[in-house]
Amino acid sequence: MALDKTTVARIAALARIKVPEADQEPLAEELSNILTWIEQLDEVPTDGVEPMASVANLRLPQRDDQVTDGDCRDRILANAPQQARGFFVVPKVVE
């Protein structure tokens, strides 16, 4: 797909990018080369290839959720300078 200077100017306007007129012709050539390369990718046979999120077929190891520590509220509250009814007591910061 070949792009010309006018098309590049329109794309730049739609993208709200200021492209100086002197740079539009070289940019048109670069974009045309990129689009030609993308068209070549359409020729690659991809039948039977499932979409993937990464090229590396990795699975993260998963483990069952298990409670290994807990039910130690009294020990934790023993470290608090002040406590009331099973909660930390802190000074009021909002008036």
33-84 pLDDT per residue, tens: 999 999 998 899 989 888 888 888 778 888 888 877 778 888 899 999 999 9
Can you give the pLDDT at residue 38? 92
Q: Does pTM surpass 0.75?
A: no
For residues 17 and 9, the answer to whether their CB atoms sit within 8 Å is: no
For residues 35 and 3, the answer to whether their CB atoms sit within 8 Å is: yes
- What does the pLDDT average to over 18-23? 94
**Maximum distance among all Cα pairs of the chain, rounded to whole angstroms:** 76
